[in-house]
Structure 1
Amino acid sequence: MEAKKNSNIHLRPRFKMDFNESQQEIISKFEDNLKDGECKYCSKIVDGHIIIDVPKDESHFWSPQLNIEVEKIKGKETVVKGLFGPKPQVWTMFMFFHFAVAVAFIGFSITAYVQWSIKTDYSLALYMVIGLPVLWFVMYFLGRWGKSIGHQQMDELYHFMMKTLDKQPKN
């Protein structure tokens, strides 16, 4: 199996696999497996995009979601690209908080410089300039911790996907 993965530091692991099957054959495998009465996963299939969620009764805030893109290369060659990540609402919230911390850092840095330049008390701005990177690291490690909480479910989604694909990627 040839699966290309990014380094382990990323919060949203990605992979890519090549197959000697048509795009529709691979999508049909997912449709058949997901409609099976034994299948516990929730899913949406639109064109070549497949979203697989953990079951609602097992879902929690940190539960992962598997996004699969099935792209036709040429003839019967297909590439399957996947992305594990939190639900879009959780990811958007985290990105909003990261953006807010970055904007606040820039704002307090400017405020500290201006207050220092005009020789007024700049201690609050300086504390914020020091504290905001600490907050950013806390948010980063909170995301890593959340990823570790959902890791078992991520493995289950990966094994479900590999079982569906019959583990026959192109060498």
Structure 2
Amino acid sequence: MDDQLYNQIFFKPRFQIDFGMNADVLLSKISKEITEEDKYKIKLVDNHIVIDVPEKDNHYWSPQLQLEVESLTEETSKIKGLFGPKPQVWSLFMFIHFGVATAFLVFVILAYINVTLDREGIFPIVMLVALPIVWVALYLLGRMGKSTGQPQMDELKNFTKDLLKKIKTN
């Protein structure tokens, strides 16, 4: 995993690893390495692997690592990884962003109507200033959440590196 790519400004950092092993063989080796004693909760469905932090260490900003194994040729495969918040956290953030964007459009229309009809309407103008501030606050909140979950992301990254090294040597 390329640390330079990992440290770029992304809410959901991604990585790709080319693996010199057939995708089906790689998936079967990964499933054999997964044990009940593992520190992390690992779900394997088809060619997708989801790795969650342990329940006892889990908090609202805990990240999740999603891996997808793709077949490139008969002898090689590619692992695509995606670090991100849990789907419910991501969905909530997107819902709030959509609501703020919709409200912004409504207040743009209201402000335009007030200007066109020569009516005084200060509230839409105040909202046109306030809603971008809310967007910035959401962005900063997301960055804060990412930095809160950064140590767990590093742990997931190291666990995945160790798992893949173990599979490569077997």
TM-score (norm 2): 0.92
Deviation at 1:36, TM superposition (A): 5.4
Deviation at 1:167, TM superposition (A): 7.7
Structure 1 partner of 2:92: 93
In the superposition, relative to structure 1, how do residues 2 and 120 fare at CA in structure 2: closer, same or farther (>3 Å)? closer
Post-superposition CA distance 1:31-70 (Å, at most 9, x none): 2332152x11111101110001000010000000000000
CA distance in 2, matches of 1:154, 1:138: 23
- Secondary structure of the 2:84 match is strand
Structure 2 partner of 1:130: 129
* Matched pairs, number: 168
CA distance in 2, matches of 1:60, 1:82: 21
Conserved? CA contact 2:2–2:15, under 8 Å? no
Conserved? CA contact 1:108–1:125, under 8 Å? yes
CA distance in 1, matches of 2:55, 2:41: 8
CA distance in 2, matches of 1:133, 1:115: 20
CA distance in 2, matches of 1:132, 1:117: 22
Conserved? CA contact 1:112–1:122, under 8 Å? yes
Structure 1 partner of 2:11: 11
**Structure 2 residue ranges without an equivalent (≥5):** none
Deviation at 1:7, TM superposition (A): 7.0
Which structure has greater helix proportion? Answer: 2
RMSD: 2.0
Structure 2 partner of 1:22: 22
Deviation at 1:6, TM superposition (A): 7.0
Mean Cα deviation higher: 28-37 or 41-50: 28-37
CA distance in 2, matches of 1:4, 1:47: 30
Alignment-mate amino acid for residue 15 of structure 1: F
Higher relative contact order (CA 8 A, sep 6+): 1
Deviation at 1:8, TM superposition (A): 1.4
2:77 is the alignment partner of 1:62? no
Runs of 4+ in structure 1 displaced over 4 angstroms? 1-4
